[in-house]
Amino acid sequence: MVGVLMRTKLRVLRHSFTGTRAAQMVSGATAGVLAAAATVWLVLANGDRAGDMLAIVLASWVIGWVVGPMMSGTDPGIRREHLALLPLTHRQIAIALFGAALVGIGPAVTLVALLALVCYGAALGGTAAAMGLLAAVLTVLLVVALSNVVVTGIGGLLHSRWSAALAAIPWGILICLAAQGWVVVVAVTGGPDKGLPAALTTALRAIPSGWPLAAVEAAGRGDWPVAVGALAGLVALTGAALLVWGRLLRRPVTPPVIQPAGGRDWQPATARAAIVGKELRTWSRDLVRIHFLAFALVYAATYTLLPLLIGSTDYLPLTGVFAAVLAVGASAHLYSSDGTALWQTLMTPGVERADVRGRQLAWLLTVGPVAALLTAAGVVANGRAELASWATGLLPVVLGAGAGLVVLVSVHVPIRITDPHRRGSNPGQDGGAIAGLVWLAIGALAVLSAPVLALLGLGRARHDQALMWTATPAGIAIGWMLAWGFGRLAARRLARSGPELLARIGTT
Amino acid sequence: MTTNLHPALRLARLTKRFADTTAVDGIDLTVPAGSLFGLVGPNGAGKTTALSMAVGLLRPDAGEARIFGTDVWRDPVAAKRLVGVLPDGMAMTERLTGREMLTYLGRLRDIPAHELRRRVDELLSVLELDKADRTLLLGYSAGMRKKIGLATALLAAPRLLVLDEPFEAVDPLSAATIRAILRRFVAGGGSVVLSSHVMPLVEQVCDTVAVMNGGHVVAAGAIDEVRDGRSLDEAFVALVGARTAGKEELSWLAS
């Protein structure tokens, strides 16, 4: 069964290598190969500190595997639902799906990256290098199993608005720590040049992500009980993960449906009000959307609170800006997320402009107040006028450009996501492969905010407070123009190429 | 009204290719105004593709579609004012309740508030969806989805209804209700095009019929002409060609 599914997955991958999917796969593979090359380079370039660097990088790869799918969505290709009618136990299904999950770009790239263990081992002797190869393979098995346990487990946890929001907390914190871990390192070690403290290097080898490294190093010094023990630990943990996965698969896959409150007397006055009302209801009832928004907030808060560890409150005023930036990334597939429901818009004569404007307004009403509140709180907590001007200059341009980008990007770069009525509410499986769009939107935001950033940077360089404050009206003006202009372009695109968009989104 | 001079729907040389398959191959079809028109054909015949092109959801590679004389692809806004559509298997605004979705779509169509409320109440009640007032569409059964889809198509009181498989997954009682609604719609001057696999049902409901096979229209006309003294089922099999399993095929099923 495992062999059959692995071959099927390979075929699925080959067949899905078309159009946007192929572009996504190529860009994902390229990013993965670069990350893998960087991992190997870290080992080769770091001499006597290579082991410690590798310990940190291994932890990052494991964290990436555990949290990645929750944030960017994946399409597993073969789903448990496909196997529901086969006479197999849940454990057998877990093992079969495990085999299928091992076939893909992610596991292949990870294996390449983990060959850094072989490079590291080679410096310690032939046996250590061989041990490195074995450890690399076992680690790939472990991360794939863990990743699937997390995705399946979270799917079971998301059954209400609160659980969807709360489930974002650990991921927001973990990913932010992975990106901003240096703050913790600096806080603990007192500076970048001092190397890691012994307690930390030991801890990094004691946690499961460090076991492959521990095995290689133990083999290098001939400490066989530790080497074999570390490998056995990897195998045991993978086995345990598969057992848990089998248990989690017993849960039904039907999506949870929120019970709406009231709504009987909803009588919107205009077409635009109807669309705003529809969108606001969707934002508050779609567990995947709630999860992504909560993630944006948690990530932004962690990002700006973390520097408090080294006594800096300088990031606090920007909490709202960061939250808004991440919310733009999480909404860049706005039209695709509705799936083929787009037909209802296309069949309503002349509604395209109202649809785009209504969606923009609803997005602003959802993200704007929270971002403004976070900004105000951060400015007050920090108390420095100079930093406040950064926040008040950047927030309007990010919100305005964001309101433009979420519609413009999503009508130009449609992605295929399983239709809402055919999928569950698991962001790990049903959120769609949105990672590329997230980066596209965030990159575009950076470019569009450049004039405001230039004013702020120039003002700072010249110690000219007045110049820095001109960034605020400039931010409002540019933000408004971008929201208006991008919305116009999106509406025109929708009116001209609506059927093409539907054809590319459609999965039926 | 000048539109009455035209057929309800006219497809001319309509063509759609996907990769190396021609799903619809230059079909011509005329749906007379005031008719209840059945489009039948085996799976993969091109019915859904043809209907999608006819209403403006899928751009044809060649040919044209006119609703009461208005070109769907040259003047889509005017054409879409005349038609109500029920596509097969597509998503809807899933995070709204049925009532909310009808209110939302009615508002987009500029139906006055009091009239909209009356239509929504009546549609939900006639289609027996009024008890599901607190259920999001996401939680609807397949049959309920068909019924709310039909309500959506009827809401703006169009002159032509285009319904893709309206009876699929619908229970017999609801099917009877839908049949009654369609007959009443036609009696009131409306026109209906529906696709179906269920021949007895098409025989019961429709007065005109077209048979599609392999992207072509292989027969079209008044239902009695197409039947030619047989049941529609028999006529269909004769037109499309049936394949029955030989003795040696599937022999393992008996073991």
Tens-digit pLDDT profile for residues B109-126 = 999 999 999 999 999 999
Distances (CA, A) of A194 to A42, A178, A289, B136: 18, 20, 43, 58
Nearest CB neighbour to A260, from listed B92, B136, B152 = B136
Looking at residue A15, its pLDDT comes to: 76
- Check if A466 contacts B (Cβ < 8 Å): no
How are beta strands B36-40 and B191-196 bridged, if at all? parallel
Q: For the packed helices A465-505 and A352-382, what is the interaxial angle rounded to 10 degrees?
A: 140
Residues 6 or more apart whose Cβ sits within 8 Å of residue A90: A246, A247, A249, A250
- Partners of residue A72 on adjacent β-strands: none
Chain A residue with minimum CA distance to B117: A267
Tens-digit pLDDT profile for residues B29-55 = 999 999 999 999 988 899 999 999 999
**pLDDT above 90 (res A401):** yes
Q: State the SS3 of A32-62.
A: HHHHHHHHHHHHHHCHHHHHHHHHHHHHHHH
**pLDDT above 90 (res A70):** no
Nearest CB neighbour to B59, from listed A278, A500, A508 = A500
End-to-end CA distance of chain B: 66
- Check if A305 contacts B (Cβ < 8 Å): no
- Chain A residues in contact with B144 (beta carbon < 8 A): none
Residues A415 and A124: their CA atoms lie apart, in Å, by 47
- Chain B residues in contact with A164 (beta carbon < 8 A): none
**pLDDT above 60 (res B1):** no
Looking at residue A12, its pLDDT comes to: 79
| Nearest-neighbour CA in chain A from B118: distance (Å) | 12
* Residue A323: band (very low, low, confident or very high) from pLDDT cuts 50, 70, 90: very high
* Residue B27: band (very low, low, confident or very high) from pLDDT cuts 50, 70, 90: very high
Contact between chains at A344 and B105 (C-beta distance less than 8 A): yes
Tens-digit pLDDT profile for residues A360-396 = 999 999 999 999 999 999 999 988 888 899 999 999 9
**pLDDT above 50 (res A51):** yes
Contact between chains at A263 and B99 (C-beta distance less than 8 A): yes
- Contact of B67 with B160, CB cutoff 8 Å: yes
* Residue A75: band (very low, low, confident or very high) from pLDDT cuts 50, 70, 90: low
Residues B138 and B252: their CA atoms lie apart, in Å, by 41
How are beta strands B191-196 and B160-164 bridged, if at all? parallel
Residues B23 and B14: their CA atoms lie apart, in Å, by 10
| Nearest-neighbour CA in chain B from A236: distance (Å) | 41
**pLDDT above 60 (res A74):** no
- Please, which residues 58-87 of chain B have a Cβ atom closer than 8 Å to chain A? 58-59, 76-78, 80-81, 83, 85, 87
Tens-digit pLDDT profile for residues B62-114 = 999 999 999 999 999 999 999 999 999 899 999 999 999 999 999 999 999 99
Residues A452 and A394: their CA atoms lie apart, in Å, by 7
Is the ipTM reported for this complex over the cut 0.90? yes
* Residue B2: band (very low, low, confident or very high) from pLDDT cuts 50, 70, 90: very low
Q: For B187-210, what is the mean pLDDT?
A: 92
Residues 6 or more apart whose Cβ sits within 8 Å of residue A389: A456, A459, A465, A468, A469, A471, A472
Number of H helices, E strands in chain A: 23, 0
pLDDT, chain A, mean: 85
Residue of A344, A355, A418, A501 to mutate when probing chain B, most B C-beta within 10 A? A344
Looking at residue A508, its pLDDT comes to: 40
**pLDDT above 80 (res A45):** no
**pLDDT above 60 (res A73):** no
Looking at residue A360, its pLDDT comes to: 97
Residues A372 and A380: their CA atoms lie apart, in Å, by 12
Predicted model pTM: 0.84
Chain B residue with minimum CA distance to A353: B108
Nearest CB neighbour to A499, from listed B57, B91, B134 = B57
Contact between chains at A347 and B138 (C-beta distance less than 8 A): no
Tens-digit pLDDT profile for residues B208-230 = 999 999 999 999 999 999 988 89
- Please, which residues 33-62 of chain A have a Cβ atom closer than 8 Å to chain B? none
- Strands annotated E in A300-415: none
Residue among A353, A276, A334 nearest B77 (CA): A353
- Low-confidence winner among A87-101, A310-324, A403-417, B120-134 (lowest mean pLDDT): A87-101
- Low-confidence winner among A164-173, A311-320, A422-431, B5-14 (lowest mean pLDDT): A422-431
Contact between chains at A275 and B104 (C-beta distance less than 8 A): yes
- Which value, to the nearest 10 degrees, does the dihedral of the CA atoms of residues B40, B42, B45, B50 take? 30
Interface A–B counts its CB contacts (< 8 A) at 119
- Low-confidence winner among A74-78, A412-416, B104-108 (lowest mean pLDDT): A74-78
